[in-house]
């Protein structure tokens, strides 16, 4: 199991391979974001999306799926996340794209009120098969501390 | 149709009623966020979630569903969103909760490069049936300008 003590500022990771299908874009958008540019090529023509594009919340969810898979592979002791900042949807995500994730730890600190809890701030980038960033954000992650009694 | 010109800073809206089911929490999390506290009561026991809780991305998606429904009801000329800031998941969302949305326009400006485009900055709060805020964020919305030739 990897705990708060095992992570260092500056540490980078690269992982994931999520193939985006037309069916999944339309299924997600039909339920959660039924705007025309997320439902059909016709609805996206004439907008800056150009053709059918995934909902930004769908891209975030696909990113999360890759993050969770990576945490499981790493045996990362995740306790969830209080939130995120500076989320930008930089380019449309289209059917046929394959997404991947790059992360970097930019800050870490122990919780002041909960000794068993550590917080890491992570820069997250989602890239497509052309190495173009489609989404980026700064996420806070809560992770278990291995030795809560240690205060260093 | 409501355009950029029809919105004013300080304008508030309150809308939506989204009933959250156990089935939907587990279905979303199984696909996009399969951490134990999003999959079962047992997996959430002993964490700060307490019992089965929706993925934060699911809460965001349910919020988006209410925003889109409201935009359709208002005939709002949405062109999508470049991103958001200060997203906080403040309380767990449980099966049986009913969510609603409150929004306030806190800034508006015309795009410098695209005369047909306006940008609004909106404070978004998602509340449960006990009027507790479960999620909040500051979203940027892109909306069509009715009269791109006017520069006032």
CB pairs under 8 A between A and B: 89
| Closest to B27 (Cα-Cα) out of B55, B65, B66, B60 | B55
Q: Are strands A12-19 and B83-89 parallel, antiparallel or unpaired?
A: unpaired
Q: Using an 8 Å CB-CB cutoff, list chain B residues near A58.
A: 61
- Summarised one tens digit per residue, pLDDT across range B63-75 is 999 999 999 998 8
Give pTM, 2 decimals.
Answer: 0.94
* B47, B68, B85 member nearest A33 (Cβ): B68
Residue B149 lies in a domain: no
Residue indicated by tokens 């992650």: A141
Best CA proximity match to A122, nearest among A102, A146, A145, A99: A102
Residues of A in contact with B47 (CB under 8 A): 79-80
The pLDDT of A116-144, averaged and rounded, is 96
Distances (CA, A) of B120 to A30, A151, B13, B73, B101: 25, 45, 14, 18, 17
Smallest CA-to-CA distance from B144 within B59, B100, B90, B79 is with: B79
Q: How close A109 gets to chain B, by Cα (Å)?
A: 18
pLDDT of B152: 59
Kindly identify which residue of chain A lies nearest to residue B76, measuring between CA atoms.
A35
CATH of the domain at A8: 3.10.129.10
SS3 A85: strand
Q: Is residue A94 part of a domain?
A: yes
Which residue in A18, A28, A57, A143 has the most chain B C-beta atoms within 10 A of its own C-beta, making it the best mutation to test that interface? A57
- Max CA-CA distance within chain A? 60
> A64 or B1: whose pLDDT is higher?
A64
Length of chain B equals 152
Per-residue confidence (pLDDT) for residue A48, from 0 to 100: 85
Measured distance CA(B12)–CA(A83) in Å, rounded: 24
Q: Per the structure, how many domains does chain A have? A: 1
- Establish if B131 belongs to a structural domain: yes
B50 interfacial to chain A (CB closer than 8 Å):
no
Q: What is the pLDDT averaged over residues B21-37?
A: 97
Distance from CA of A64 to the nearest CA of B (A): 6
- Measured between beta carbons, which residues in chain A are less than 8 angstroms from residue B32? 61-62, 64-65
CA distance B83 to chain A (A): 4
pLDDT, tens digit (0-9, with 9 covering 90-100), for A25-76: 999 999 999 999 999 999 999 888 999 999 999 999 999 999 999 999 988 8
Asked if residue A73 belongs to a domain, the reply is yes
The rounded mean pLDDT for chain B is: 95
Domain that holds residue B117: 4-144
Contact A139, A119 (CB under 8 A): no
Residue A150 inside a domain? The answer is no
Segment A138-145 shows an average pLDDT of 94
Residue B151 domain-assigned (yes or no): no
Residue B54 contacts residue A62 (beta carbons within 8 Å)? no
Asked whether residue B48 is domain-assigned, the answer is yes
Over residues B95-150, the pLDDT tens digits come to 999 999 999 999 999 999 999 999 999 999 999 999 999 999 999 999 999 998 88
A116 has pLDDT over 70: yes
CB within 8 Å of B90: residues ≥ 6 apart: B132, B133, B134, B135, B136
Q: Is B9 on the interface with A (CB under 8 A)?
A: no
CB < 8 Å from B in window 84-143 of A: 84-89
Residue A152 in domain: no
Cα–Cα distances (Å) from B62 to A30, A44, A135, B37, in that order, read 12, 22, 20, 18
Q: Which residue of B has its CA nearest to A135?
A: B83
């Amino acid at each position: 199991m990897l705990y708060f003590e095992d992570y260092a500022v500056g540490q980078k990771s690269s992982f994931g391979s999520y193939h985006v299908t037309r069916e999944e874009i339309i299924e997600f958008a039909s339920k959660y974001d039924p705007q025309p540019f997320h439902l059909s090529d016709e609805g996206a023509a004439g907008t800056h999306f150009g053709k059918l594009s995934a909902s930004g919340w769908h891209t975030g969810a696909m990113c999360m799926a890759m993050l969770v898979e990576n945490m499981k592979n790493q045996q990362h002791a995740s306790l969830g996340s209080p939130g995120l900042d500076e989320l930008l949807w930089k380019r449309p995500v289209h059917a046929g794209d394959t997404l991947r994730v790059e992360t970097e730890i930019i800050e870490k600190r122990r919780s002041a009120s909960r000794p068993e809890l550590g917080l890491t701030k992570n820069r997250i980038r989602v890239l497509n098969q052309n190495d173009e960033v489609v989404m980026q954000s700064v996420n806070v992650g809560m992770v278990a501390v291995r030795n809560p009694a240690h205060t260093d």
